[in-house]
């Protein structure tokens, strides 16, 4: 492993049958892995015999290299190459970083975005990100399963919940702080785990870590982070709380290694994703891939090319995960275990009976099963189920998906949640304004939640009650009958006075 290999030597291994690449100063023989690469062999072949760091880094964290068989590692790349990779941005520098990352195939970010203080709500960040992010990153973050009906339903469902404000309550002081899984936090919300943070910021998830620290909220660190676990741990400030989100690997030894490393790194809870035995079909993301591929390469037989970023990272997830595994997890870690992705009352009861510390009611941000119900719709069913086995208060319940407003947080708490997770809004804030953007996003949510509490007559979170929301239409799915085109076409709409 200490052998140093010259780039002239590496360049000799540049064919499908003998393919070496250098990544972060190490040289790997990836020949056997070429066909297994979920993103297709072509993506690697573009770097065959060369330094592949610039292509590797925006997508993968370095932990993923551990998954390669040991004999792949050929030695260290010669210093010059190492230096070259040092030119990759280590510090935040938006303009420069994007240029370095993009210089090969991606278009430059459009010029000119509004000043940060013009961001009034979560939607504003998304609007800026949609314009300023690279197509690939936007496609990966913004896409959902199949027709993206669940993706949009997640937010739409909140609008079937209406508020019943109480008046004449002293709201001079409003307090949004609470405790989640034993941690005091300034808001009943956490940054949930999302993959590939470097598509938003060249520094990756550590930007979220720093913003969470500044605003005193909890961050859930993802398995599929662009940053390594160590980077996220190192970025943590004193007294800051991080949780760890786990995709269970088919190789349980590796899974155990990861969990133990997370616990050793000071993670305070283990969120096991249970709604992704496979990663969903995200067609918007898949269609992006086609656009990015030149037609001349079309006949290459690369059957996986069209699967998009999402599915390129899913082959390590274990589809055989089942209830009996919970016991095993309890044995290998002292962290409280939370199941992320509960979607029925029945499974909430099972989770409780298997002794987990909490559950996240979630459909994975609408990225998995289309026409699955929204988390907020499922929440009352879950709370009723837990009540039926006298579990309320004995297990923590979180919900994520579609939360964009302080009033959405209020509604989730009223329906029984201990806290809520947000993912995409912080990615969009990070993509458009870096750490400052994420802090501003948290501040806006804080301001909106405080305003909602003040206008609802609830000075503390404990004052929020079920009867303060009218959710009777929450589980009604209204699909308008098809339009009567002929009839509508001949109707002449009313018009106001001519000006």
Interactions with a second copy, residue window 115-174 (CB under 8 A): 115, 117-121, 123-124, 126-128, 130-131, 142, 146-149, 151-153, 155-172
Minimum gap (Å) between residue 24 Cβ and a second copy:
34
State yes or no: residue 288 binds a second copy (CB under 8 A): no
Instruction: Indicate the residue among 21 and 109 with the shorter CB distance to a second copy.
Output: 109
Residue 5: closest CA among 23, 32, 18: 23
List the interface residues with a second copy, window 254-283 (CB under 8 A).
Answer: 274-278, 280-281, 283
How far is the C-alpha of 150 from the C-alpha of 148, rounded, in Å? Answer: 5
| Number of other residues whose CB lies within 10 A of the CB of residue 86 | 12
* Sole binder of a second copy in the list 71, 107, 296, 496 (CB under 8 A): 496
Strands 469-470 and 189-191: unpaired
275 is catalytic: yes
d(CA 358, CA 339): 7
- Active-site annotation holder among 47, 244, 247, 433: 247
Which residue among 245, 343, 418, 435 contacts a second copy (CB under 8 A)?
Answer: 343
Which residues in 362-391 contact a second copy (CB under 8 A)?
Answer: 368-373
We find the least distance from the C-beta atom of residue 189 to a second copy, in angstroms, to be 17
- What is the smallest separation between the CB atom of 171 and a second copy, expressed in angstroms? 5
CB nearer to a second copy: give 171 or 392: 171
Is 95 a binding residue for a second copy by CB under 8 A? The answer is no
Alpha carbon 319 to chain centroid, angstroms: 20
Measuring CA to CA, which residue among 368, 361, 363, 426 is closest to residue 399?
361
Least distance from a second copy to the Cβ atom of residue 275, Å: 6
Q: Comparing C-alpha atoms, which of 251, 456, 283, 244 is closest to residue 367?
A: 283
The closest alpha carbon to 39, from 277, 314, 278, belongs to: 314
Nearest-angstrom CA–CA distance, 203 and 428: 14
Q: Which of 351, 379, 385, 346 is nearest to 363 (CA)?
A: 379
The interface region with a second copy, picked from 98-106, 229-237, 389-397, 444-452 by CB under 8 A, is 444-452
Q: How far is CA 244 from the centre of its chain?
A: 12
Q: Which stretch binds a second copy (CB under 8 A): 29-37, 78-86, 232-240, 288-296?
A: 288-296
Name which of 81 and 474 has its Cβ closer to a second copy. Answer: 474
Q: Are 453 and 176 in contact (CB under 8 A)?
A: yes
Q: Does 349 bind a second copy (CB under 8 A)?
A: no
Q: Does residue 491 have an active-site annotation? A: no
Interactions with a second copy, residue window 456-475 (CB under 8 A): 456, 470, 472-473, 475
The SS3 assignment for 48 reads: coil
**Active-site pick, 285, 364, 400, 433:** 364
The footprint of a second copy on this chain (CB under 8 A) covers a number of residues equal to 118
Strand pairing class (73-77; 26-29): antiparallel
Nearest distance from C-beta of residue 101 to a second copy, angstroms: 22
Residues 6+ apart with CB under 8 A from 213: 236, 237, 240
Is 247 one of the annotated active-site residues of the chain? yes
User: SS3 of 340, please?
Assistant: strand
Q: Which stretch binds a second copy (CB under 8 A): 17-25, 64-72, 200-208, 346-354?
A: 346-354
Phi, psi (degrees; rounded to nearest 5) at 410: -55, -45
Min dist. Cβ of residue 490 to a second copy (A): 5
CA 287 to the chain's CA centroid = 20
Is residue 486 a contact point for a second copy (CB under 8 A)?
yes
298 binds a second copy (CB under 8 A): yes
Active site residues: 247, 275, 364
């Amino acid at each position: 492993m200490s052998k140093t290999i010259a780039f002239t030597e590496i360049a000799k291994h540049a064919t499908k049958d003998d393919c070496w690449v250098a990544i972060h100063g190490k040289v790997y023989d990836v020949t056997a892995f070429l066909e297994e690469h979920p993103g297709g062999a072509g993506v690697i072949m573009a770097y065959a015999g060369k330094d592949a760091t610039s292509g590797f880094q925006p997508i993968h964290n370095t932990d993923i290299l551990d998954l390669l068989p040991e004999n792949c590692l050929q030695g260290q790349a010669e210093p010059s190459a190492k230096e070259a990779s040092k030119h990759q941005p280590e510090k935040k520098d938006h303009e420069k970083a994007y240029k370095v990352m993009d210089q090969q195939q991606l278009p430059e970010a459009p010029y000119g975005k509004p000043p940060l203080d013009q961001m009034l709500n979560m939607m504003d960040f998304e609007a800026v990100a949609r314009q300023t992010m690279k197509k690939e990153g936007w496609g990966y973050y913004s896409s959902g399963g199949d027709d993206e009906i669940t993706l949009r339903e997640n937010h739409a469902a909140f609008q079937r919940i209406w508020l019943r404000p109480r008046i004449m309550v002293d709201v001079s002081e409003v307090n949004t702080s609470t405790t989640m899984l034993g941690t005091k936090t300034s808001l009943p919300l956490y940054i949930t785990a999302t993959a590939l943070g470097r598509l938003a910021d060249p520094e990756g998830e550590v930007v979220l870590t720093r913003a969470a620290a500044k605003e005193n909220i909890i961050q859930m660190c993802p398995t599929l982070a662009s940053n390594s676990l160590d980077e996220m741990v190192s970025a943590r400030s004193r007294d800051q709380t991080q949780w760890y989100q786990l995709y269970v690997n088919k190789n349980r030894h590796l899974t155990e290694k990861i969990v133990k490393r997370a616990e050793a790194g000071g993670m305070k809870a283990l969120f096991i994703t249970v709604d992704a035995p496979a990663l969903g079909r995200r067609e918007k993301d898949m269609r992006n891939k086609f656009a990015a591929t030149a037609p001349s390469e079309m006949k290459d037989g690369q059957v996986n090319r069209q699967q998009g970023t999402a599915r390129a990272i899913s082959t390590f997830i274990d589809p055989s995960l089942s209830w009996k595994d919970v016991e095993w997890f309890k044995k290998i870690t002292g962290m409280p275990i939370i199941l992320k992705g509960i979607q029925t009352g029945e499974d909430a009861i099972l989770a409780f009976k298997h002794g987990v510390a909490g559950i996240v009611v979630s459909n994975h941000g609408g990225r998995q099963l289309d026409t699955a119900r929204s988390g907020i719709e499922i929440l009352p069913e879950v709370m009723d189920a837990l009540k039926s086995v006298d579990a309320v208060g004995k297990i923590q319940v979180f919900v994520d998906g579609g939360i964009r407003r302080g009033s959405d947080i209020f509604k989730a708490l009223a329906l029984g949640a201990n806290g809520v997770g947000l993912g995409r809004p912080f990615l969009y804030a990070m993509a458009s304004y870096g750490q400052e953007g994420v802090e501003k996003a948290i501040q806006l949510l804080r301001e909106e939640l405080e305003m909602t509490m003040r206008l609802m007559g609830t000075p503390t979170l404990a004052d929020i009650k079920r009867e303060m929301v009218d959710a009777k239409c929450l589980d009604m799915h209204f699909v308008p009958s098809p339009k009567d085109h002929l009839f509508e076409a001949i109707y002449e709409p009313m018009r106001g006075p001519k000006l």
